[in-house]
Amino acid sequence: MKQLYQYAVKLIWWTVTLQLAQRLRLWWAARHAHFAPPTDSYHFAVPFNYAVTPPDAPGVAVMCHLFYPDMLSEFKPYLLNIPFAFDLFITTDTEQKQQLIQQNLLDWHKGAIDIRLVPNRGRDIAPKLLAWHDVYPRYEFFLHIHSKKSPHADSILSGWRNYLLKTLLGSEAIVNSIFAAFNSDAQLGMIAPEHFAPVRSGIGWGTNFAAAETFAREKLTMHLSLEGKIDFPSGSMFWARSAAIKPLLDLNLSIEDFQPEKKQMDGTLAHIIERLYFFICEQAGYRWIKIANPALHHNDKTLYIDNQEMLIERIKHTQYAILPSTDTDL
């Protein structure tokens, strides 16, 4: 009886304060999965179709979460495709794994190495944000990668990790093209792979919208809408400027903000932040683009770049904004 009375009071209050429609939509979103794969987004074919001048050793931090340290031997050839020195920041969750990683990197020569222990909490998202919170201000650019497995759908998603790594680090020419894009547009904040084909139809808020709306509104003063567009770096691997995630870093999140690991498939803060990366990039005042290697992904939204002038024009005129410019009625 007491609970019914409390619900009645809330309904009256939401009606009086004109929140009822918003609350009903949040209630619905919490109980129904939301899917809205982008239909009008373009991606840039990499490497570009012109000779790109290699960048002068930019300040780059590669942040890699290795829950599965045996994958380091798979990652090293990709990392060696970065044609300039960079510093490598690795997280893992046990001392035994840390020692295995150290042994596997005794011959490393590309730059400094830092390996830190983190709790097995917040998937790869929390380690990369929290363990290296002090690192981002020292580097203009970073790369987020991790030893991704999808045991809940291994037969379908077994190629996802390699797809992401090949798209971001598949060759020196690809990395040079990525930095040609960054250097051609000072407002370009994030570069992420086009969605892996088997997951594309599942792009959306899933069952995360209600929690994401609350987090975005209360922590980021950002207003989301189910009617708005959504896109994000599915798989949470991407290149970016540190400044493009500053609104997120400024929250000073702690490990306690992330739910304990229970093999959740949705609904955690890690799932929410993954879906907010492009929103946060726009909030910080930057653009984002997606890329694809045509050998792995090609459709009529693939943009082939023949020169720098075309690159600059396409970056500015093909990206669509997903962050609402004004407060909207949810």
Helix (H, G, I), strand (E, B) or coil at 229: coil
Residue 61 above 60 pLDDT? yes
> Tens of pLDDT along 95-126?
999 999 999 999 999 999 999 999 999 999 99
Question: What pLDDT score was predicted for residue 22?
Answer: 52
Alpha helices in the chain (DSSP H): 2-16, 20-31, 72-79, 95-104, 125-126, 154-157, 160-169, 172-184, 197-200, 209-220, 246-249, 269-283, 308-318
Q: pTM for this structure?
A: 0.87
All domains of the chain, ordered by start, with CATH? 26-318 (3.90.550.10)
Closest to 92 (Cα-Cα) out of 59, 115, 63, 121: 115
> Tens of pLDDT along 79-92?
999 999 999 999 99
Terminal alpha carbon distance of the chain: 30
Question: What pLDDT score was predicted for residue 260?
Answer: 86
